[in-house]
Amino acid sequence: MKKSKLIAVVTVLVLCGLVIFTSCTGGKKPVTQETTVNRTEASSQTETNFASKYTSKDKLIALTFDDGPSATSTNRILDVLEENGSAATFFVVGYNIEKNITTIKRAHSIGCEIGNHSQGHKNLMKCSDAEIRHQVDTPNELLKELAGIDVKVFRAPGGNFDGVEKKIGMPLIQWNVDTLDWKNKDSSNEDRTEEQRNADLKRIADEVVNNAARGDIVLMHDIYGFTADLCEIIVPALVENGFKLVTVSEMYEAYGEELKDGKVYRNIDVIADAEPLALGNYRVKTNGGVLNIREKADKDSQSLAKIPNGTNLTVLNSVRGWAYVEYSGVRGWVNAAFLEKI
């Protein structure tokens, strides 16, 4: 074969190879080390900004928000959370998801947890089994499809779940601190003066901050401007008092309690880490709720009686985290974290 013909054949073969390679790769450049680095950098920009792991020694509290999101008030709440290195759990309603997906993605990106608050905010106790499945499954599917979020927790609208817990098929997160922010929203208080509004904000903020305890779950609603104003007060105040504001799932994980499908959770009864109390007179100081007298120094043991907040007691014996007391003829163990010396 002549030299000129040989060159022509080689040229044709090379061109054919390039055509085949281009068609197989769709015309894209091969992945180089530089491309891989760029993808990694881009991916890291969407990761959460806050650590997701805490320990049982941390002073944790979970702020939770229902009925949203809202493009305005929810983003204001996210602003103050982000400014204070904090996170919260937002129980979103299905009909609000698509129109507020950007806000949901932002919340998730800064370390907040997205929970399910049903598709249509219906009373699940009045729904058929098929309707319950629709109410629970639809938001989960939407959040997975539109934001890549796997939902782990559920809150029943209106707290209505008796008899249908197992049908819901997710951990049911309730609360032990209710701010009643919905009663104080501006649309229900049109005649309220600015001075009265500020007084309401201060009153509720003081109740939350001054009575906050480890393991609390606080209920609010992120669809009200009043609530956004409230958060601008309580979030920095709680942080200043040494609390770490975390998601519900993070708090339960840190305190060593597993969230289980069909079970209801209101707060974590965190046992005090302090040394045994000195014997003597104490006052019950809770966040307004009652204090259980238990049969044993164990938070899962039988409750024998309930002691109102503010009650004076005498500690007869004490071990680490627990105090042995008597109330109305009943003797047993109480969580020492909720007793203050008098």
In three-state secondary structure terms, 16 is helix
Nearest to 170 by CA among 73, 83, 261: 261
Helix axes 101-109, 73-83, angle to 10 degrees: 10
Q: Length of the chain in residues, anyone?
A: 342
What residue ranges in the chain does DSSP mark as E strands? 60-66, 89-92, 113-116, 172-173, 177-178, 217-221, 244-245, 264-265, 280-284, 291-294, 303-307, 312-319, 322-327, 330-335, 339-341
Nearest to 157 by CA among 141, 145, 172: 172
**Cα 237 from Cα 208, distance rounded (Å):** 10
Q: How far does Cα 90 stand from its chain's mean position?
A: 6
**Cα 118 from Cα 95, distance rounded (Å):** 9
Residues with active-site annotation: 66, 221
**Cα 297 from Cα 63, distance rounded (Å):** 29
